[in-house]
Structure 1
Amino acid sequence: MTRCRLCGSEAMASVVDLGATPPCESFLAADQLDLPEPAYPLHLRVCTDCWLAQIPPLITPEETFKEYAYFSSYSTSWVEHARAFVADAVERLDLGADAFVVEVASNDGYLLKHLVERGIRCLGVEPSVNVGAAAREAGVPTLTEFLDPDTGSRVRAEHGPANLVVANNVYAHIPDVVGFTKGLRALVADDGWVSIEVQHLLTLIEENQYDTIYHEHFQYYTVASAIRALASGGLTLVDVELLPTHGGSIRLWARPSEAAGEPSARVAEVLDREKAAGLQELSGYTEFSARVAKVRRDLLKFLIEAAERGETVVGYGAPGKGNTLLNHCGIRPDLLPYTVDRNPYKHGRFTPGTRVPILPPERIAADRPDYVLVLPWNLRAELTEQLSFVGEWGGRLVFPIPELSIVEVGA
């Protein structure tokens, strides 16, 4: 990577190099195990002019999202998060029966279904054919498209301007950040609102959340860099919320620049926190690579010592972040014989690169392992409760990030 995709600068500094891995959602079917598997460098850099952290666009969104393995509705806590957001947004923006809401990257309708239930007109713009079909089957109007300025203009012309445009966990997923932002502006009414949720680079750095670096995440935002990205499409940040989702996210409330007004005090507060953490100078990034290496060493040491003691360790979950972790650590079936997942789409498949089998969740109770390695560590509270039955036979949970943690559960 020689130029920043936001500002065009060539002043790019290395943050962490995770080697080469396959795309994190490219789960393998059994008949693919003897075929070549492409892997791409996974090297995070930061632009020292605009401070947008980014990886090279080595794969295209079309490769990732034509058929997508992630269905939002399989996370109980995420569905509840969406329900609460809708309730708050309806009250905050006074959205009535005449309102129109568009969600970009609407997945299987997990969020918009709450608007459908309220009788509020809505539309999902979702590029993945399979999850978009699931949304339509659930009664959520969904357009199978990627968002760009042309798509935004066509939707606006056909359906009218949106009072609210929601873009949750997608602003990192598009290499053309300027074009995508212009698409958001095309969708939203001149006096409307845009709400974006994206992982916060501050917590990624502070909490060693390096497994959230993968090829479908092209950039990683601070509030400071998000302000610059929004401005590239004619949007202005007016408020920000700090959220616990995905280990630490920011909810950005933006408006068309001509209607924005002054930003809230919370914007200045978060900007001050980022500056204090050194994220607008190289000092905030220099130690991250060493802390990532320690996560790897600690997890491998635990797995190797457990194997030498004859203890069994299996996985829970097959999230994209888990595949970054497994590949970076070189964890294969000799150390992790299988993982389980609630999503039936993944059953009978294998994790990319490391070829760990993915089985139904019931397998854990049947096998009674000594340890369960929780790969979606960001759902720690939810999964500690869900997996409390592991304590019935003295089993324990293992969380690898921000540091190795072994937890006793159950009575």
Structure 2
Amino acid sequence: MICRLCGSAELESVVDLGATPPCERFLAAGQLDEPEPTYPLHLRVCRSCLLAQIPPLITPEDTFTEYAYFSSFSTSWVEHARKFVDQAVAKTNPEFVVEVASNDGYLLQHVVAKGIRCLGIEPSVNVGASAREKGVPTQTAFLSKETGASVRAEHGPADLVVANNVYAHIPDIQGFTAGLRELVKDDGWVSIEVQHMLSLVQYNQYDTIYHEHFQYYTVASAQRALASNGLHVVDVELLPTHGGSIRIWARPVESEPSKAVGFVLEEERKAGLHDMSGYQDFARHVDEVRQNLLRFLLGAAATGKRVVGYGAPGKGNTLLNHCGIRPDILPYTVDRNPYKHGKFTPGTRIPIHAPERIAEDKPDYVLVLPWNLRTELTEQLSYVGEWGGRLVFPIPTLEEVRP
């Protein structure tokens, strides 16, 4: 394996999660007797540039041409996007906004509402169609240098380019970053949100390692990646989203970084993420998460308690596959996205139902797989407490909560 950022062959293993199917490749009932391909899920860190990465064994085209994730099904995520738009418009005063990986228009709908010209670039045909139904102009494409140049030629350069939760999803870092540079004005802004490697390591968030995520960033490694194509990090914000993310502000014009950039870089250094020391115990902590969850599920089954799941996110499928959880101890999970109803989780073959199933069955425990939406889902699932049920959050450590 060669580092996709700097080309070094010196990559060191952090955690090996075995082989799993792609996390968003849900199965229809007719596919349950068919073979299912799996791919290694092995996180390594480059000793030269310290980019954390997995092998690029599947392509974005395999995952994102037809996609099961619609951002708007998370109420808190839509609200997060609305607040970001308010802040970004005040910060950059844009006349033209482009969002890369714009999904179903969850963010740009707020830009449209402000009367600001905008364009979404979304590779998934089905998801982009949903955005257009909301009145969000959307082009179906993957971002590359050529795509960026084409959009710029047709629509003009953007004052603000947004790339939220996509910078980890592309194996061609150089080509994607070149595309960002093509899109943005020479004095414009690029805003990137991505999960922070610091949070992933500190809080055992290993379930966010899956084949859609080709790399995992510190601010230090993001600086190197952006600088490779003329974008300079000028500010950073720490966000609670996805268990701990960073919002990076970059510009083509080099300027003195804010104090926040220096602060986060120092926090990363103290955690040992600017060398290899901070990764040494991660695999052991991953094993502890698996053992605790299996101990709980097997104990519940032995005492006649029923556990069902809530959510069918990509991260949940990493967790279910790594722990070897099957329908005998988790008979089903539910999800708000109708696209997933009647389908089965990849690898583990757990059926997915509509959320109403929980109230009908009144289980003893609900295992919350999208734990990063804890506040939102604790409120949504408050009715579980009516029959004495409890919510179970598996990460960072197993916790039972009476809603």
Measured against the shorter chain, the TM-score band is over 0.9
- Candidates 267, 270, 283, aligned match of 2:277: 283
**Counterpart code for 1:367:** D
Number of the residue aligned with 1:88? 87
Do residues 162 (structure 1) and 158 (structure 2) align? yes
RMSD between superposed Cα atoms in Å: 0.5
Number of the residue aligned with 2:15? 16
- Candidates 252, 263, 269, aligned match of 2:263: 269
**Counterpart code for 1:60:** T
Looking at structure 1, the residues matched to 254 and 108 of structure 2 have their Cα atoms a distance apart, in angstroms, of 25
Number of the residue aligned with 2:59? 60
- How does 1:27-38 map onto structure 2 within 5 Å? 27-38=26-37
Looking at structure 1, the residues matched to 86 and 341 of structure 2 have their Cα atoms a distance apart, in angstroms, of 34
Do residues 387 (structure 1) and 381 (structure 2) align? yes
TM-score (norm 1): 0.98
Number of the residue aligned with 1:229? 225
List alignment gaps of at least 5 residues for structure 2. none
Do residues 310 (structure 1) and 304 (structure 2) align? yes
**Counterpart code for 1:199:** Q
Looking at structure 1, the residues matched to 166 and 276 of structure 2 have their Cα atoms a distance apart, in angstroms, of 26
**Shift of the alpha carbon at 1:260?**
2.8
List alignment gaps of at least 5 residues for structure 1. none
Q: How far does the alpha carbon of each residue in 1:101-128 deviate from its partner, in whole angstroms, 9 at most, with x for none?
A: 0000000000000011111000000000
Looking at structure 2, the residues matched to 84 and 202 of structure 1 have their Cα atoms a distance apart, in angstroms, of 24
Number of the residue aligned with 2:140? 144
Number of the residue aligned with 1:335? 329
Query: Helix, strand or coil: the match of 1:101?
Result: strand
Looking at structure 1, the residues matched to 116 and 307 of structure 2 have their Cα atoms a distance apart, in angstroms, of 47
Q: How far does the alpha carbon of each residue in 1:74-115 deviate from its partner, in whole angstroms, 9 at most, with x for none?
A: 0000000000000011111123xxx00000000000000001
Do residues 120 (structure 1) and 119 (structure 2) align? no
- How does 1:112-261 map onto structure 2 within 5 Å? 112-256=108-252, 259-261=253-255
Number of the residue aligned with 1:43? 42
Looking at structure 1, the residues matched to 185 and 365 of structure 2 have their Cα atoms a distance apart, in angstroms, of 52
Query: Helix, strand or coil: the match of 1:18?
Result: strand
**Counterpart code for 1:154:** S
The alignment covers a number of residue pairs equal to 403
Query: Helix, strand or coil: the match of 2:350?
Result: coil
Number of the residue aligned with 1:319? 313
**Counterpart code for 2:354:** P
**Counterpart code for 1:69:** A
TM-score (norm 2): 1.00
**Counterpart code for 1:334:** D
**Shift of the alpha carbon at 1:280?**
1.3
Looking at structure 2, the residues matched to 42 and 167 of structure 1 have their Cα atoms a distance apart, in angstroms, of 25
Identical positions, percent: 76
Looking at structure 2, the residues matched to 93 and 126 of structure 1 have their Cα atoms a distance apart, in angstroms, of 23
**Counterpart code for 1:180:** F
Looking at structure 1, the residues matched to 373 and 241 of structure 2 have their Cα atoms a distance apart, in angstroms, of 8
